[in-house]
Structure 1
């Protein structure tokens, strides 16, 4: 619901319709994610994608002697999926949104984080429990180059990245067409970069990272659809300090 204003007089709220396409897209992505999870669950040690994953690992994975894992870009992706990313999305961004008077958007951001990187990622990891890549000295392959927990499917970092991309996109008003287009382009690079970094350090199999992006996007789009009326109200609402500055200007 949102209020409209005609000739300076506010009228009763007008109901905002949620696009069904968003709902079907999110449910479709969720179905794909579940199908991938069931495929791995059927044989966690050697699922249907193992040949593809092995080939990608030989192509992209590196050993401890490589300088790439310590490269600033790789470290950026590493930290976005860990505590710094959690602080950014669970504390800093919601706090900024509340300070500018957009508490509904802040609730949306927190909800996505709890449902995606929180519930979906951890629940699936424990249910599927796919082993992570391990060292194979004969083939010249290495295991994870950073400390990791159990469960490789899905990549929690990828879930977090997809959640961040969709969350920021949802916070940009539909009227800001070029801002959305630029962010979508940046989002594609971020998604590809996360797949590269997680497989570079042998923390996940390739399909685990792709599934993480799909699962994170599914949850974020579903919550975007659910929160859409609130988000649009915030889009139409100018920040309190702008309204205060306008009110302080002398009338002519």
Structure 2
């Protein structure tokens, strides 16, 4: 086997799917910006709010499951994704993975979420007492598209998958998918976002992270042999497997 054939490669599917998802995200952003008061998804968004959205005072928004998703997109979730996970990756000597994860978190939060939110500035659901519809049940900032919580869920879904070996990744797709679906449910349950804002927010966060996964792929593959849950120690020189690049010219 030649050195070129054994070198890590970037899977093209990550780039193709990521760019396709970003195209959907950007197209929807332009469609909403063209008519922020009533974009083309508004009839379905209204119907979904009438079906799922809670009224104030029911207490249905404060039990354990919706609060899990609420906190996941706030300070506790930020501590987990911006501090604890990257720090642990550095501890187990997967510093390339830590840099990827930080790039995904900061890039997705700043560009996909906050920049687009300020450019589009779609109004959030508002009280319509006559129709028995209500606005956000928690304090929120301006701009409904995209849902920042949903963008974070999309980043987490793909970001963690990129860190895992293939066998464990299959299980994470299921768990992470449930987290993404749960985040869409919770953001609309509390009337913080329109349904389309939450769904497309997940698409935007996940797609941007897929593109970053493609960009970091060759670096991440160097970390895959290192355990995620214990610190690695260098093997003795005579016990190390021969490198596929030994003897190859650079």
TM-score by length of 2: 0.89
Q: How many residues align?
A: 234
Equivalent position of 1:227 in the other structure: 216
Unaligned 5+ runs, structure 2: 237-250
Out of 234, 240, 243, the position equivalent to 2:233 is 243
Quick one: which of 77, 81, 87 aligns to 1:85? Answer: 77
Which residues of 2 match residues 24-39 of structure 1 at below 5 A? 24-39=16-31
In structure 2, the partner of 1:69 is: 61
What SS does the aligned partner of 2:233 have?
Answer: helix
Q: Is contact 2:159-2:209 (8 Å) kept?
A: yes
Alignment deviations for residues 143-169 of structure 1 (CA, whole Å, 9 cap, x no partner): 000000000000000000010111110
Structure 1: where are the runs of 5+ without partners? 5-10, 248-252
Asked if 1:118 is matched to 2:107, the reply is no
> How far apart are residue 72 of structure 1 and its match?
0.5
Contact 1:173/1:232 (<8 A) preserved? no
Match of 2:205 in 1: 216
* Equivalence for 2:184: 195
1:207 aligns with 2:181: no
Aligned residue number for residue 165 of structure 1: 157
Q: 1:67-107: CA deviations, max 9, x gaps?
A: 22101110010011111111111111100000111111100
CA RMSD of aligned residues (A): 1.9
Verify the 8 A CA contact 1:26 1:221 in the aligned structure 2. Answer: yes
Whole-Å Cα distance in 1 between the matches of residues 231 and 139 of structure 2? 45
Instruction: Return the offset for 1:17.
Output: 1.4
The Cα offsets for residues 54-75 of structure 1, whole Å up to 9 and x where unpaired, read as: 0000000001122221011100
